[in-house]
Amino acid sequence: MKKIICCLITVALLALNGCEESAFLKEEPRDNIYSENLLVDHQGFQSMITSLQGLMRKEYSRHPSIPIALNGVFGGGADNTWGNNIGTTGDRFNFMLQPLNIRRTDNDLFKDIFEWLYQIVNTSNMVISRAGNSSVHWGGTTDSEAEANRNSIVAQARFFRAWAYRHLTYAYGAVPLSTEEITGENYRTDWERTPVSEIRETMAADFQFAIDHLPLRAVNNNYLSAAVARHYLGEIYLAEGNPAKTIEALKPLVESSEYVLMTTSFGTSPATPACPFIDVFKSPSYKDGNREVLYYFTNAEPLEATAGVAPQDGWMKSTYKSYYSNDGICKLSNLGAPEYTSGKLTYNQVFWLNNGGKGTARLSPSPGALRLYNYKGMGEQDIRVKEPAMLWTIWEKNAEGQIQPFLYNDKTPIDSTITALMLDITKTQIANYKWPSVRKWDYTQKVESSGDIDANYNDLPYLRIADTYLLYAEAQFKTGNNAEAIKWINTIRNRAGVVEVAESDLAAGGLDLILDERSRELLCEEERRHTLIRVSQENGGDERAVDNYFKRRTRQLNQVLGISGRGMDTPDLPVLLPIPNLIIESNFGKPMAQNPGY
């Protein structure tokens, strides 16, 4: 029985598989949706694309057993974030323990992420394969329209497959490459780990197909577009050491007038004081005037979800915002709020309604990440680190119902002073609840009695043109065109309200200058571990090496994770995640090697 269960889990390639059935079991299902009935026309295939979008947005949803967004596994535990309220369950991706204690390969976190991504791969393969059936009714009034419909479906499915492999290769390294639908006839237990370079060839072809068959700008930016595919194709070429191809891939996107940085206040509820940078997160849709977000996830409040539609939530706020209501000083605020003194609401509900929604401090900006904003003395000017983009003020409602800043001994309780607990390498539960945090994911519940719940229901931006500009700048720098590189870096800095950099700055700082700017612009948003693994592996580099970008920058900027004793000064500490042990054991047809260090 154990082997049978393991087989079902192996490489997690069983999502929506076809199977052989005995004749007496076959029937035409009328009340249930099966792939054989669904994937017969354009509408059915579009439903499957919607399902793939739902699988993709799980990156911003919580892990079943750890209350943290899956994105935190790809973004946390590097140079610019540390595990604040992470606990002993999640410390293994955050490297909060001594090296020998993080090497378990049976952690559900690793297994569930691995399986989730392969569910996307196999579902995409099924769509691609069945789109080739000649019996499918693709709609349209002409053959060319029908073919365009088919190509659009295949382009989106191929995008999702490549996107899943992007996560897999950065997180686990070499993994099995699957490009065919898994059925009862070709099911395998002898998978091999395919070299990353070979996987990237398939990814590049997939993204290119999406570029060729999707519009640069979709009808709305909660649909996939060629712009999103171009961004990731450019990143692949950087990872493969071909910045000239990156420039070729990204140039039509960065020079297009379809996408630009937002530089004036806009949206449904513009920030006060004015901050177009944070407006981008508050109103990510084209229909709200946003021309910066390439792609976002649509969420829905339970009370607003239409009949038959499950509400969508996110856990980015809870992951990246601190747990201020649990701090001994911060919790002295809001004690006079009428809703609390009357007993109408609990203290936590009142507190979080007045402070942008509940956080739990799973991940916090590193001390060095905060220092980076003071580059060229710009810490007081950079809109990305000031209110309302970064939380430095606790707000309270007084007895008269007025909202005002809460002060303790005439100053804000928010404090970025490094404490002894943060430096104690024996601790995994630090819980510094007055640490500053980003406000990109703030969301105040619409129902007061839900004011203290973890989830958020705002629409969540996933990819911005600002990220693309910085990839493009990196490619220009690596081809020796520093003048063009700083042009795009300064486009970012100009919106932030800080002084421009010069060619001499880039020549002196090199790639670190670009990585610094990525941290300032994309803090708690970028999949930071992916970026640092990518640049550390460049030209055959070892992501485990002590002096690569990953470990060196973590030592320099992260005084929590980077201090001696937490492994960033030793080549023994693995950076890639382990291949889940259950996956290796289930692949009993052929040995599958584990990543080094586990």
Q: Which domains does the chain have, with CATH numbers?
A: 1-15+36-214+578-598 (1.25.40.890), 316-458 (no CATH)
DSSP at 81? E
DSSP 8-state class, residue 62: B
- What is the average pLDDT score of the chain? 90
Residue 396 backbone dihedrals phi, psi, to 5 degrees: -135, 155
**Closest to 202 in 3D by CA, of 148, 171, 167, 163:** 163
Strand 395-397 with 403-405, pairing: antiparallel
Beta pairing partners, 297: 460
| Rounded Cα gap, residues 374 and 21, in angstroms | 65
Strand partners, 62: 69
> Ranked by mean pLDDT, which of 108-112, 413-417, 428-432 comes out on top?
413-417
- Helix (H/G/I), strand (E/B), else coil: 589: coil
pLDDT tier for residue 101 given thresholds of 50, 70 and 90: low
pLDDT tens digits, 281-308: 999 999 999 999 999 999 888 776 655 5
d(CA 417, CA 538): 35
Helix (H), strand (E), coil (C) string for 386-437: CCCCEECCCEEECCCCCEEECCECCECCCCCCCCCHHHCCCCCCCCCCCCCE
| Secondary structure percentages of the chain, helix, strand, coil, to 5 | 45, 5, 50
Mean pLDDT of 506-514: 98
Confidence of residue 23 (pLDDT cuts 50, 70, 90): very low
- pLDDT band for 2, please (50, 70, 90 cuts): very low
pLDDT of residue 399: 97
Predicted local confidence at residue 9, as pLDDT: 36
Identity at 369, one-letter amino acid code = A
Q: Decide if 16 contacts 127 (C-beta within 8 A).
A: no
Structure tokens at 8: 């079902």
All residues at 6 or more sequence positions from 354 whose CB lies less than 8 Å from its CB, including other chains: 334, 337, 395, 396, 397, 403
Query: Residue 120: its pLDDT value, please?
Result: 98
Q: What is the mean pLDDT of residues 428-435?
A: 89
CA distances for 2 relative to 7, 64, 118, angstroms: 9, 23, 21
pLDDT for position 360: 93
